[in-house]
Structure 1
Amino acid sequence: MFSKDLRASVLEVEEMESAPDHAIFFCAGKRLLQKLGFAIMPSFLQRRLRPNSAKSQRLHPTSYLDGLRGVASFIVFMGHYTEENVGWYSEPYGLYEDNAPSSPLQLPFIRVLYSGRPMVHIFFIISGFVLAYKPIQQIHAQQYAGLATTLSSSVFRRAARLFIPSFIAVFISAIAVYTGLAAPTYAFPAISLFSQFKHAWATCVYLMQASWYWDDNQLPSYNPALWTIPIEFAQSMILFVTILGLARCTTNIRLFLLGVISVFCFYSERWAVVEFLGGMAIAEITLIQSGSLQTSPTSSPTLLPKYKLEDELEVLTAPSVVKSRAIQAFWIANLMSGLFMASWTNNHAEEVWGLSFLQAHTPAPYSGQRIWFLFGAFQIVGACTQLKWLQRLFTTPAAQYLGQISYALYLMHNLVLQILEPRVGPILMQYFPKYSFLGRQTFWAVGLLIDIPILIWVSDIYMRTVDTPSVKFARWLENKCLVPKKA
């Protein structure tokens, strides 16, 4: 095989040497365009064209959470797209229709497809789970030296992981606003590019400062979705401190104290802390249930082998069947309850069956939908950790791909909407006016058919050129800053 490739290369060089200058220039340009065209293709198309060069992605025990995070990120885009283009869908079914019947998309459970607000709470719980997963394994194995290294590395790299892709997204949006490519919804064109960059940098500084503003509800300029990034960073630091502080406690004491801290934070109106610490609790309970923890001080924590369908087909006694089905029913009920809460309308919840009751019984000091999104997110994530068939939905190739580009998709979707909607919307309105039931449905669907492929393409490129390199840079910087090991 090697000799064939070498022979082909030699023949190719000989042909190039014998060819006229203009032909050499043409071939070189053609190759450059081919490489550029391949580079800007989405990664899943690249893997199809060159399957031998692609690394196969192995599933790990928590891969379903990656898929869930990817689907949640996509739903955030769906929510912003729907609110900006078909605002009627944010209203309850059967109310405030504005001379056109309600859409089935407005029904409970179905409207989760574009309910972006509760997805943020799912993000935070998943972050708490994922960030605590390895440290908890090390705690149970009593590998405290390894735990210190893990937490030190996580603290060192967390800011770079979150802020570098966010800052680059801000500057890209600033260029788009300055050139008139993006609609100036959250920032306006400056008199010079330098002034535009200066304002963009001020936004980046605000994002870092906002990590310590408990009650700041200001939406950042250029990309309002970035309001979650300072919260993500601050709660990550609190989570790491909590893990360190409770590391030497027994499992029961640690979970008890974690519950006490969470209750205190809940009634102190620190809902994001509750979600991160709750994710940590779910991670520990899941690891205990899986039996993948080891308590030997010298042994390394191991994971269960890859889940197989036949694991569910073992012969069960009648009592165990009843118990298993009861547990399954319990978690399915939790899932349905969480999805119902995620169906919360943006307005007029007091006029919706079920939501009106929940809103009237919102625990103090909260008001409105946010705290119910917290409860619903815990139910959804909890159900995902317990229901194998639900996990399989999020380990499909499509869900796993969305998980890979989830952060890039979250950072890029507002910019894509700001660029496309002022241009695509008026054209669609000419053919599908939104003043009728059919017009709204068609406008919504056709707009998605245009926006989604472009968003996926942009997000894929951003993942490969910004997000993944940021992770590698943070790891490289950490290695450069470490004290060299003694020989």
Structure 2
Amino acid sequence: LVMLLHVYLQILPPDGIEHLKLELWWPLTGKFAVAVFFLVTGFSLSVGFLNTGNAALVVRMVFGRYFRLIIPVFATCALTSAFMNAGLFMPVEARPDMMGAYYSFEPTLAHLVRFALFDVIFDYSTAQSYAPPLWVISFEFFGSLIIAAMLLGVGDPARRPAMYLAALIGLYLYHPWFALFVLGIVSVRLRDVLKQHATPAAGGYLMVLGCTLSVLFGENPYTLSLAAFLFFLGAFQLPVALAFFSNRASRALGEISYPLYLLHVPVSFVVGLPIYVAANGDPWLQMAAAGLAVFASLVAAVIFIPVNTAAMSASRWVGKRAAALILRPAPATGSS
């Protein structure tokens, strides 16, 4: 969804498409999808601990998270740097005005290493970015630390709801995106409550309400966070939605979702933008350029699956060893 929004509405928009007001169609509201992604992160990184109480799961996540995020990011940035150095990106002056702000930096090796390993998390700048969607990486990294702090420092939200409520209010006021990670934790328990006390139809109502809020209030992060939370919670309660999001096609898209998110902008600049500019305002050729960019992005994401797999393996390797070291039992002392 984020890819379609970026390609068809922002990078390669056919002339006249603005009259369709596609940004009001909730599936194409890119930040709505990102908000749901943050909720999924909170849910998936906490459900194991909440079900087992195994602190090692959280410690593994904390120490492995950087590698899980950064290995695909570095690969994406390296590929984009190679594209830029090979002259595959159109000169800034030849692009449409809205695309001139991107990829105008010098793609040196030092720039690549600093941005991909440090700046993407700790000092992000869109003007220096190898892929504009990388703005989420900082939120993902610090959101993961918030998840760990809540699980290890506070515990189960069912046992300490007041502390979770206080954390949610504070984070929501600071930045609602961070509150989504805690809402993901809370969703683990709310899912069980809904299953016990609400009908499946309630899930549908929650999803409709979430979609409606996202359309009415656009990309305002405060209302959008609430809208995404309602939609996310409702999907657990409505069987047909749960089946849709867990079917084979959805799982296949889930496998390539992270590489696709990272790669679709640079691929669109290389594959689609030259055709888009050459179309000289012809909407059909512009749509063809966008369609080709989408297809090429999907292919690139599939090719990148081994990189994503390597990131998961590295994350688990680092996390397991860190947990084994930190949680190692203290040696027994002899008694006299």
Scaled by the length of structure 1, what TM-score is found?
0.59
Question: Structure 1 residue 259: deviation in Å?
Answer: 1.6
Structure 1 counterpart of 2:47: 133
The amino acid that maps onto 2:167 is I
**Hey, what does 2:214 align to over in structure 1?**
342
Would you say 1:237 and 2:145 are equivalent positions?
yes
Question: Residues of 2 paired with 1:398 and 1:425: CA distance?
Answer: 30
For residue 480 of structure 1, report the CA deviation from its aligned partner. 5.6
| Residue 176 (structure 2) pairs with residue 271 (structure 1) | yes
Asked which structure has the greater RCO (Cα within 8 Å, sep 6+), the reply is: 2
Q: Aligned residue for 1:208?
A: 121
CA gap of 1:106–1:152, structure 2 versus 1, over 3 A, is closer
Cα contact 1:89–1:106 (8 A) shared by 2: no
1:76 correspondence with 2:8: no
For 1:480 and 1:239, how far apart are their aligned partners in 2? 20
| Bigger radius of gyration among the two | 1
Residue of 404, 408, 415 corresponding to 2:255: 404
Q: Which residue of 2 aligns with 1:122?
A: 36
CA contact (8 A) 1:275 1:374 kept: yes
Cα distance change of structure 1 residues 133 and 475 upon mapping to structure 2, 3 Å threshold: same
In the alignment, is the contact (CA less than 8 A) between 1:226 and 1:411 conserved in 2? yes
Distance change (3 Å), C-alpha of 1:393 and 1:224: same
Question: CA, structure 1 residues 136+200, in 2 after alignment: closer, same or farther (shift >3 Å)?
Answer: same
Shift of 1:135: 0.7
Q: Which runs of 5+ in 1 are unaligned?
A: 1-74, 92-101, 140-146, 211-215, 292-322, 344-354, 360-367
CA 1:152–1:225: 2 relative to 1, 3 Å: same
Q: What CA distance in whole angstroms lies between the structure 1 residues aligned with 2:308 and 2:59?
A: 22
Residue of structure 2 in register with 1:332 after alignment = 204
Are residue 433 (structure 1) and residue 282 (structure 2) matched?
Answer: yes
Q: Distance in 1 between matches of 2:260 and 2:137?
A: 14
Find the aligned partners of 2:138 and 2:14 in 1 and give their Cα distance: 28
- After superposition, the Cα gap between the structure-2 partners of 1:284 and 1:240, relative to the gap in structure 1 and judged at 3 Å, is same
Tell me the TM-score normalized by structure 2: 0.83
Q: Which amino acid aligns with 2:6?
A: H
Q: Does 1:161 align with 2:161?
A: no
What are the Cα deviations for residues 158-188 of structure 1, in whole angstroms up to 9, with x where unaligned? 1100111112211111111111113465233
CA shift digits 1:27-55 (9 cap, x unpaired): xxxxxxxxxxxxxxxxxxxxxxxxxxxxx
Which residue of structure 2 aligns with residue 389 of structure 1? 240
State the percentage of identical aligned residues.
20
Contact 1:220 1:226 survives alignment (8 Å)? no
What is the deviation of 1:203?
Answer: 1.5
Q: CA deviation at 1:137?
A: 0.6
- CA distance in structure 2 between the partners assigned to 1:397 and 1:449 by the alignment: 24
Name stretches of at least 5 consecutive residues in structure 2 with no aligned partner.
93-99, 332-336
Whole-angstrom CA distance in 2 between matches of 1:170 and 1:148 = 34
Q: Contact 1:174–1:200 at 8 Å: present in 2 too?
A: yes
Q: Structure 1 residue 383: deviation in Å?
A: 1.0
C-alpha RMSD of the superposition: 2.9
Give the AA of the match of 1:84. I
